[in-house]
Amino acid sequence: MCLVGFSYIASSSVIAPILSIYLKDNANLPIEMIGLITATFFIASASAKLVLGVFAGGKKTIASLVSAFVVYAICPMLYPLTGSATVLLVVRAAQGFAYSFIGTAALVLAGLTVSTVERDKGLGTYTAFLSLGFLAGPAITAFSIPLFGVADTFYFAGIVSFIGILASSFLYRKLSAIEKDWQIVSVTLDREGFVSKASAILRNRMFAVGVTGNFAFFLLFGALLAYSPLHIKENLHLGNELVSVFFILYYVASTVTRFAVGRVAASTRVGKQDLVTLSTALAAVFSFSLALAPNGVAFAFFFALIGAVQGLIFPVGSMLIAEHIHPSRSVLANSLYIMGIDVGQGIAPLITASIVVQYGFAHAFTASAAIAAAATLLLTMLNISGKRKSRRASDR
């Protein structure tokens, strides 16, 4: 499971630092089209996650990993072969669908293949390997750009995906043997209808906390993903290879946080819902500071701090869902959870494109910080409401 997570994240992280640069410098596309192509990946991913949440389960979930990885490995190799915006949109959408199936299936399996006692630790370890993938991608990009150029670096994203093909094929053989036992998890509510299941998930306060925090963060991150490489290059006057270095720093911070998140989340002093609220607030502060950063050193510092926040907020939200959502609803719950992340990253470049065109890249970071600040207020109200209900219940 850790190799599966590492592979698909490393592949996407090879692409992340260079996509907007390639679209602008090599394909000669305008800012609005760059935002749309960036967003298409996440919009397609969000749509696919909803489909997976409704229809997937058991052997179908496991089998989706293998087929999705094949598509996922091919798509990056098609990027440098065309400068057509239409073709790039189609390829980007196909890769988004594959990304969705891999991410959701892997997260569900990671939660179900670890005992309840070790679940927090297991999910923390799994997400730590995701963070290692985030770190490996920019490292490959920083190495490849000086030697091969921006366009040829996309081939490395496809090569890294082949690790996932091998790992998911191995998992398919192993987990297929215990599929019947795995399906027993959902026997008690196996006949629950989609509307009833979705309603129960959406009414769960802890699910609302996890989704709100993650949506707000990845809305913020979506703007950074699309426009920070261009800001670093054009406003801070740094080279393409240094853009990858900034992302390496980001994911080093994320990796360190994710390896510690299991112990932090297990602490009785701070609840998981409070950690989500705190992380969202810090993301808002650091994004606003990013917009004001006067030079590359300051920008790198705050960029890395946002990476540390990502290393905390995503796994803690996953733990809330694993802890408070019935296992029979876990596929749909995780699909909706990650779909919120994709929607955030997908709409961010679209809603901030006009701000970038009119006011500049830094103002997009400020706008996303304002949204995260509003989400922090909402999370605070949810937490206060939950604590009041808990006190009333204990009084009875």
pLDDT at 116: 63
> Mean of the pLDDT values across residues 15-41?
91
Give me the helix-helix angle, 59-78 and 2-15, nearest 10°: 30
CA distances 78 to 71, 98, 145, Å, are: 11, 15, 18
| Total-model pTM | 0.77
Q: pLDDT tens digits for 337-347?
A: 888 888 899 89
State the pLDDT at residue 144.
Answer: 92
**pLDDT, tens digit, for every residue of 204-249?**
888 999 999 999 999 999 999 999 999 999 999 988 888 888 999 9
Q: What per-residue confidence (pLDDT) applies to 127?
A: 73
* For residue 181, pLDDT beyond 70: no
In Å, what is the CA distance from 95 to each residue of 8, 103, 162?
Answer: 11, 12, 14
- pLDDT tens for 345-365 read 989 999 999 999 999 999 999
Q: What angle do CA 265, 251, 2 make, to 5 degrees?
A: 65
> Tokens at residue 251, please?
């994911």
Higher pLDDT, 113 or 43: 43
Compare 257 and 175 and report the one with higher pLDDT.
257
Instruction: Indicate the pLDDT class of residue 183, thresholds 50, 70 and 90.
Output: very low
What is the pLDDT averaged over residues 146-155? 92
Per-residue pLDDT tens digits for 289-320: 999 999 999 999 999 999 999 988 988 888 88
Give all domains of the chain, ordered by start, each with its CATH number.
2-395 (1.20.1250.20)
State the pLDDT at residue 334: 78
Residue 143: name the closest of 162, 163, 166, 159 by CA: 159
Question: What is the distance, to the nearest Å, from the Cα of residue 297 to the centroid of all Cα atoms in its chain?
Answer: 26
Q: Using one digit for the tens of pLDDT, what is the confidence trace for 260-287?
A: 877 776 665 678 888 999 999 999 999 9
With a cut of 90, say whether residue 259 has pLDDT above it.
Answer: no
